[in-house]
Amino acid sequence: EDKVVQSPLSLVVHEGDTVTLNCSYEVTNFRSLLWYKQEKKAPTFLFMLTSSGIEKKSGRLSSILDKKELFSILNITATQTGDSAIYLCAVLKWNNNDMRFGAGTRLTVKP
Stretch that binds other proteins, among 11-19, 42-50, 62-70, 73-81 (CB under 8 A): 42-50
Shortest Å distance, C-beta 68 to other proteins = 21
Rounded to 5 degrees, φ, ψ at 104 are 95, 155
Q: Any contact of residue 97 with other proteins (CB under 8 A)? A: yes
Q: How far apart are CA 16 and CA 81, in angstroms?
A: 9
96 binds other proteins (CB under 8 A): yes
Of the candidate residues 19, 27, 33, 34, the single one contacting other proteins (CB under 8 A): 34
The Cα–Cα gap between 63 and 54 comes to: 9
What is the separation of C-alpha 60 from the centre of its chain, rounded to a whole number of angstroms? 14
How far, in Å, CA of 26 to CA of 1, rounded? 8
58 binds other proteins (CB under 8 A): no
Note the residues at the interface with other proteins (CB under 8 A): 4, 6, 9, 31-32, 34, 36, 41-45, 48, 50, 88, 90, 92, 96-104
